[in-house]
Amino acid sequence: MAPPNCLVLPAAFFERDTLTVARALLGCQLLKYELSSNAWLACPIVETEAYTEEDPACHAYNRTTGRAAALYGNPGTAYVYLIYGIYDCLNVVTEKQGTAGAVLFRAVMPPLGSGLKTSGPGRLTKALRITKSAFNGRALTQWDSGLCLAAGTIYPDEAVVQTTRIGIRKAVDYPWRFYVKDSPWVSVREKSFKLATEPG
């Protein structure tokens, strides 16, 4: 069953500079098909991080084999890996084939009334039941993959915060994390930025 009223993003969307894609994905929708309910969950993306082959924090840094090989593959492909032996993390491959890059999904807005906790990459995949075994290597540009990315809200620059990444030990000063400034679902917010609804 195709997702209703959605324009699935083509591979060309991801075949660009990784930071450009990370910023452009804010407001787009992560769509997950639930077989049990025969329905799609639509989750607007509110926080992303960029990783490239020149980046010491990237799995493809000075590597082309093993799990790094997937990052040199087709743009728009899911790259799911396990951290701490517990949490799956969902990424989408970027750049032209042969150049490694990926965008990590850090937070999405949960479906209205679902009660799902989707702030943070581990919580996101747990809530949406996205696992490495089920989704690694799938094309996120095709709705029949059961997991895809679609167009959504376009945020102006003043509605977006660009800042440093989280939970890494290398290249910690790279400002390669992007999030929607007023979204309450962002995993970690810069102290200098408050929600518009917050007092003071």
User: Using an 8 Å Cβ cutoff, are 59 and 67 in contact?
Assistant: yes
Note whether residue 197 is domain-resident.
no
- Residues 118 and 171: their CA atoms lie apart, in Å, by 25
Residue 159's Cα: distance from chain center in Å?
A: 18
Note whether residue 133 is domain-resident.
yes
- Residues 25 and 9: their CA atoms lie apart, in Å, by 10
- Type of residue found at 83: I
CA dihedral 11, 17, 23, 28 (to 10 degrees): 0
Nearest Cα residue to 28 out of 120, 119, 153? 153
**Cα angle, residue 102 at apex, residues 97 and 106 outer, rounded to 5°:** 160
Q: For residue 9, how many other CB atoms are within 10 A of its CB? A: 22
- Residues 59 and 63: their CA atoms lie apart, in Å, by 7
Q: What is the DSSP letter of 8?
A: B
Note whether residue 194 is domain-resident.
no
Note whether residue 142 is domain-resident.
yes
User: Using an 8 Å Cβ cutoff, are 176 and 94 in contact?
Assistant: no
Note whether residue 18 is domain-resident.
yes
In order, the DSSP letters of 53-92 are TT-TTSTTTT--SGGGGGGGS-TTBEEEEEETTTEEEEEE
Residues, the chain: 200
Domain span including residue 156: 11-180
pLDDT at res. 196: 41
Q: For residue 48, give the CATH number of its domain.
A: 3.10.300.10
Question: Which pLDDT tens digits describe the chain residue by residue (200 residues)?
Answer: 667 678 999 999 999 999 999 999 999 999 999 988 888 999 999 999 999 999 998 998 888 888 889 999 999 999 999 887 789 999 999 999 999 999 999 999 998 878 899 999 999 999 999 999 999 999 999 998 999 999 999 999 999 999 999 988 899 999 999 999 999 999 998 765 444 433 33
Domain count along the chain: 1
